[in-house]
Homo-oligomer: A and B are copies of this chain.
Amino acid sequence: MALSGLFTPCARIMAHRALCRGLALTASSALDIRGIYPPITTPFTNQEEVDYEKLEENLQNYNHIPFRGFVVQGSNGEYAYLTSEERVEVVRRVRKAVPTNRLVIAGSGCESTQATIRMTEEMAKFGADAVLVVTPAYYRGRMTSTALIHHYSKVADCSPVPVVLYSVPGNTGLDIPVDAIVTLSQHQNIIGIKDSGGDVTRIGLIIHKTKRQGFQVLSGSASFLLAGYSIGAVGGICALANVLGAQLCALESMCLNDQWEEAKELQHRLIEPNAAVTRRFGVPGVKQVMEWYGYHGGPCRSPLLPLTDEEIKELKKAFTANGWL
């Protein structure tokens, strides 16, 4: 694996940009990303090294589920804990393990624009069909609409593959403002957004104001998947899909086939399990439940701790009480 591009001077990238623009124009046109995706986790050994074999086994075990594809290095992939080399290598391995009719969407966001561009290029080189770019957030007081529009426009100008925006205020403390999204939706290489905030009013407004661009909105959590569909979202990237993937695909199917009553019943039973593996217990929660369902969960990287016995009990209850275990 050659990573020479990762740490070369920014100047080359800058010069390269005029070229990029043309490239982007043809590359993006119309990638259809409708559907359900698990934001897959990254298995680690007990020494906290990436366990690529278990990663590949998980992917094989997902094969029978009608996912549209896989998101690599969303928040559940512990991307923040991976080195640059690991981030790229994980994408490379996933792409090889996943059938070509499934999309691989890779999380390439970094804090700086130039690092994000480099990461995007590397991930595209190794087979990502699209990139998911989280908001840079450390200096969130200065991450105005203008700053975010600059950032995402530059990344999209240079990206060989389509860009999906990623707004996850629970982790970043930052929402991309609606006006910035509307502006960015007009960029030919920005095709959609994963919105994990859960505010359906906001999601409805984004859909309303970008519909002419064919902008695709994905719900970022299973708890509002039905509500998202009702308002015009076209899919979901949901932590819960790592363990209840078939059920989420069934929910998608009900929504698309106007079986709203059944969808409602199913959705109700997913809220508590979803809360347990997101807000309540996060990635360690997802990984614990994966073990119960026959996938490889395993430890997180430090400083994420495994759940306590008490927490595991509460986690289990969220699944049993709703008939899932």
Q: Interface residues, chain A, CB within 8 Å of chain B?
A: 7, 9-11, 14, 47-49, 75, 80-81, 83, 85, 111-115, 136, 138-144, 146-148, 150-151, 154, 170-173, 198-201, 204-205, 207-208, 221, 223-224, 226-227, 230-232, 258, 260, 263-264, 267-269, 271-272, 274-275, 279, 281-284, 301-305
Contact = CB atoms under 8 A, between A and B. Distances in A.
A230 B301 CA distance: 39
A112 B147 contact: no
Contacts of A10: 47-49
Nearest to A144: B305
19 contacts: A10-B49, A11-B47, A80-B111, A81-B111, A81-B115, A112-B303, A113-B301, A139-B282, A140-B171, A146-B305, A147-B303, A150-B305, A173-B173, A201-B221, A204-B226, A204-B267, A230-B230, A231-B268, A232-B268
Given A115-B81, A205-B272, A230-B226, A139 B200 contact: no
Looking at A208, A232, A284, which has the most chain B CB atoms within 10 Å of its CB? A208
Given A303-B136, A303-B148, A48 B114 contact: yes
B154 A302 contact: yes
Given A231-B267, A264-B230, A139 B283 contact: yes
A241 B130 CA distance: 43
Given A200-B200, A201-B271, A141 B112 contact: no
Copies in the complex: 4
A4 B67 CA distance: 40
A224 B201 contact: yes
B151 A207 contact: no
B142 A305 contact: yes
Given A143-B303, A198-B200, A231-B264, 14 more contacts: A7-B85, A11-B49, A80-B138, A81-B112, A139-B282, A151-B302, A198-B199, A198-B201, A204-B226, A205-B272, A208-B269, A226-B231, A230-B263, A260-B260
A301 B116 CA distance: 12
A230 B232 contact: no
Contacts of A208: 268-269, 271
Given A115-B83, A302-B150, A204 B223 contact: yes
Contacts of A75: 138-139
A305 B139 CA distance: 11
Nearest to A154: B302
Given A10-B47, A49-B9, A138-B80, A230 B260 contact: yes
Task: Give the interface centre of A140, A221, A303 by most chain B CB atoms within 10 Å.
Answer: A303
Contacts of A230: 226-227, 230, 260, 263-264
